[in-house]
């Protein structure tokens, strides 16, 4: 499950007008109102915690967004490149 930092996230309303050539990934930033709370297999605190939405089920996403003890905000981040993920780019070696 990929997580992101709050500094990487652009709110959805700002992302819509952003012009970037890099693909975007939808994320949800979650923080708890109590000091800590566990939901959907995650531990949340009062510090924002980002989760890539495609890594959640529809049920998990709905539960997080509707929980009165959590504050959520959707946003986007630039999709990581293969180099950022530490994946070597494949090259074709034709004879």
Strands 49-52 and 24-32: antiparallel
- For residue range 75-92, list pLDDT tens digits in order: 988 887 656 666 555 444
Rounded CA separation 69/54 (Å)? 23
Q: In this prediction, what percent of the chain has a pLDDT beyond 70?
A: 63
CA-based nearest residue to 76, from 1, 5, 3, 12:
12
- For residue range 2-16, list pLDDT tens digits in order: 556 655 566 655 544
More confident residue, 25 or 17: 25
């Amino acid at each position: 499950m990929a997580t992101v930092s709050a500094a990487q996230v652009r709110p959805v309303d700002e992302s819509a007008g952003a012009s970037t050539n890099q693909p975007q990934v939808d994320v949800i930033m979650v923080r708890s109102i109590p000091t800590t709370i566990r939901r959907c297999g995650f531990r949340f605190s009062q510090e924002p915690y980002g989760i890539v939405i495609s890594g959640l089920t529809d049920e998990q996403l709905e539960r997080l967004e509707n929980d009165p003890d959590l504050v959520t905000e959707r946003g986007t981040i630039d999709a990581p490149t293969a180099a950022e993920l530490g994946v070597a780019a494949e090259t074709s070696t034709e004879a």
